[in-house]
A = this chain, B = another copy of it.
Amino acid sequence: MAKNTNIRISLPAVCFVWQIAMIILFGVFIRYDEESDTHWIEHRRKKNISTNLENDFYYRYPSFQDVHVMIFVGFGFLMTFLKRYSFGGVGFNFLIAAFGIQWALLMQGWFHHLDENDWKIKIGVENLINADFCVASCLIAYGACLGKVSPVQLMVLTLFGVTLFAVEEYIILELLHAKDAGGSMVIHTFGAYYGLTISWVLYRPLLSQSRHLQGSVYHSDVFAMIGTLFLWMYWPSFNSAIADHGDGQHRAVINTYLALASSVLTTFAISSISQNNGKLDMVHIQNATLAGGVAMGTASEFMITPYGSLIVGFCSGIVSTFGYLFLTPFMEKTLKIQDTCGIHNLHAMPGVIGGIVGAITAASASESVYGQEGLINTFDFKDAVANRTVNIQGGYQAAGLFVAIAFGLVGGALVGGILKLPIWGDPADANCFDDDVYWEVLPETMSVAMQLSKMIIWRSADSSEHTYSKTILSKLELSEPQVMCIRPP
């Protein structure tokens, strides 16, 4: 079945209409908060704030920029690993993140920051961080669909993803009063199950027709390492960006730094042990090394202790690498879930681990470890939840995990259904993972080599070295008919 992948009307329409909608909604709802408004100087005097440094900007801006790099370079370059889908990986990531952060400022604003006096949302640097966080869940979901969807579908995925995110985040953080500074549950678990369910709904039985493009080449693997490393290095900023000022941010950094280091070693170990000759697999190194950061998301602020962080990283690195080895092939064959980037291994499982670790760590918190004030500050046991005990908090943390999973599954099924409509310009099964569908790609080195190989094979096909040619053919990933048809009359 031929598919129409011409998005000349749909993509510009979606971009223009939605961007204009953003402008109107921002005009109606979004204003500067008191720390980014020129009235800050009066606010300072009124609140008796002695220095400009107490502006939240100086607490959070360095972390914000690190998170921003993770969203655009981290996620973007991690998805350049496919040999002919690097433009789509980094480019569509750019597009949907740029849209998503605007929509997230609105959605999260309506749920969390709506000023009841004037019905405005007042934004500052923390809102920007939260918008980046929100978008991360959609970029995770993109990872499952990489190479199989059109940019218009991705915009729809993001529109609904951000909406669902804002609701589940409100339920988990506000209603359940669960803690999730680095978003193991809210971002990773939700985003991963959202993307996996969409991928399941959009199952492509004949995807093997694109198999020759569903892999990396040497340099695309090096590009992907740029993404891996910027995610890995800045993850301490991710998990601490919206943590409590002072010891909260400080501790979140230490915990995440250690968990990440630990998961690198177990990833290398499992990757090596899984091959007959002990050779390492770049897919594992690019992804499972990050599992420690995901799994430390919820508990990063807690007194999990440095060695506790190492244990979390240790386990999540193992689980994630085993996922790539066994679960991804199993899911594709048996469950009909085609997960291009293996987000189940990098985000879903470590995210669930993170949620569980968070629940256990919260339930076992004590005044002897945290100090009386420390316990109250860390878990915000104030106002409506002033009398909550750590055991009950642990229960609510666990409940939050289920909410995240439920939103991912149900939301993914709904959005997957919408994306299945034959109007979005998605590629045929034989044209997946190919930038040529949505990008102007010039003929170049690789195509030249292909052309050359065809010529040679055509010249040699009439003689006895036919067997040798076949080896070449397979290396070039050309099927025989393709070659035969260029034989001269």
Judged by DSSP, the binding face of A is: helix
Q: Which of B250, B275, B445, B459 contacts A124 (CB 8 A)?
A: B250
Query: Does any Cβ of B come within 8 Å of A382's Cβ?
Result: no
Query: Does any Cβ of B come within 8 Å of A327's Cβ?
Result: no
Given contact pairs A53-B59, A95-B268, A102-B258, A23 touches B440 in the complex (Cβ within 8 A)? no
Given contact pairs A314-B23, A441-B218, A442-B215, A452 touches B451 in the complex (Cβ within 8 A)? no
Query: Does any Cβ of B come within 8 Å of A339's Cβ?
Result: no
Query: Does any Cβ of B come within 8 Å of A205's Cβ?
Result: no
Number of interface residues of A (CB under 8 A): 159
A233 contacts B289, C-beta separation under 8 Å: no
- Chain B residues in 8 Å Cβ range of A63: 61
Given contacts A23-B262, A32-B254, A452-B472, 16 further A-B contacts (CB under 8 A): A9-B278, A16-B266, A30-B307, A36-B247, A36-B251, A41-B373, A51-B54, A57-B250, A58-B59, A65-B66, A73-B233, A94-B264, A98-B260, A98-B264, A226-B226, A459-B459
B448 contacts A476, C-beta separation under 8 Å: yes
Given contact pairs A26-B310, A472-B455, A61 touches B253 in the complex (Cβ within 8 A)? yes
A457: nearest chain-B partner, CB-CB: B455
Query: Does any Cβ of B come within 8 Å of A363's Cβ?
Result: no
For window 1-41 of A, CB contacts with B under 8 Å fall at: 6-9, 11-12, 15-16, 18-20, 22-24, 26-27, 30-32, 35-41
B247 contacts A72, C-beta separation under 8 Å: no
Interchain CA distance A80-B219 in the complex, whole Å: 10
Interchain CA distance A44-B268 in the complex, whole Å: 42
A37 contacts B303, C-beta separation under 8 Å: yes
A121: nearest chain-B partner, CB-CB: B306
For window 380-394 of A, CB contacts with B under 8 Å fall at: none
Q: A255: shortest Cβ distance to chain B, in Å?
A: 9
Q: A198: shortest Cβ distance to chain B, in Å?
A: 21
A65 contacts B442, C-beta separation under 8 Å: no
